[in-house]
Amino acid sequence: MTDLVLVRKADGIGWITLNNAAKRNAITLAMWDAMAAAVTDFMADDAVRLVVMTGAGGKSFAAGADIGEMERMRAEGRAAEYTARATAARAVLDTLEKPLIAMIQGHCIGGGLALALRADLRVASEDSVFGVPASKLGIAYATWSLERLTALVGPGFAKEMLFTGTNYPADIAFARGLLNRVVPAADLEDAVMEFARIIARNAPLSMRAAKITIDQVGGDPALRDPARIAALSQACAESDDLKEGQAAFREKRRPSFKGQ
């Protein structure tokens, strides 16, 4: 695994940190592969209740793809390989059935924004900026990213972002629905940790059912899987965690959920 992605686990939280600060955390193929490997590991570890991804250095969450690597592979006739590897890694991230929080400080641009859009929740510092410069680079922004962006901010603002390539401050991104919370930079990690602790205490099966169902309801109706949604609901209804939650409510104590 590349040292340009740092992975750790602590207190029920899996952490993924983009560690390419010298390039504003521009994402290389090796970094995509490392993120995919981390997600696979987190999915298999019941002790990990949720995942937080962030960027090192305090100046950038991610400034998009590593353009130098992209251009080099294109010049070598390996453009299809680049696309295939990046697409495969992103697909693995989309298999994560646990809550995913993007902790954003600084630039969140292009492919970096596409990565943040894969999170369930986005918490940003007041000094963060967001944009999609695809039209300034001659790039077609990925369909999935456009679908998610449009679902969050609406078609009008999504088109404005893509047509102009403008970078927007955090307060506008929040007002448009792109962000869940905006906090002072000095408070960002504490705010995310408070958010994460609240989530980590809740029932894993319930959160899994909620995430998958909401994603399916908000996605392509043709891809909706009613049988799977029903099975997720049934798993909650038959779980020990349901009994624990009811007992804790009666006994006026905090529940201790096991994800079973």
Residue with tokens 């998610």: 148
Percent of the chain with pLDDT over 70: 100
Q: Other CB atoms closer than 10 Å to residue 187's CB: what's the count?
A: 12
Strands of 121-125's sheet in order across? 5-10, 13-18, 50-55, 100-104, 121-125, 181-183
Residue 250 confidence (pLDDT):
95
Inform me whether the pLDDT recorded for 239 exceeds 90: yes
Residue 144 confidence (pLDDT):
85
Residue 20 contacts by C-beta under 8 Å, 6 or more apart in sequence?
A: 4, 26, 27, 28, 31, 56, 66
* Model pLDDT for residues 1-34, shown as the tens digit of each residue: 579 999 999 999 999 999 999 999 999 999 999 9
Residue 1 confidence (pLDDT):
57
* Model pLDDT for residues 29-62, shown as the tens digit of each residue: 999 999 999 999 999 999 999 999 999 999 999 9
Inform me whether the pLDDT recorded for 165 exceeds 80: yes
Residue 139 confidence (pLDDT):
86
Question: With bands split at pLDDT 50, 70 and 90, how would you rate the model's confidence at 154?
Answer: very high
Q: Is 132 or 65 the better-scoring residue by pLDDT?
A: 132
Average pLDDT over residues 96-123: 96
Average pLDDT over residues 143-168: 95
Question: With bands split at pLDDT 50, 70 and 90, how would you rate the model's confidence at 129?
Answer: very high
To which CATH superfamily is domain 5-199 assigned? 2-enoyl-CoA Hydratase; Chain A, domain 1 (3.90.226.10)
Residue 219 confidence (pLDDT):
81
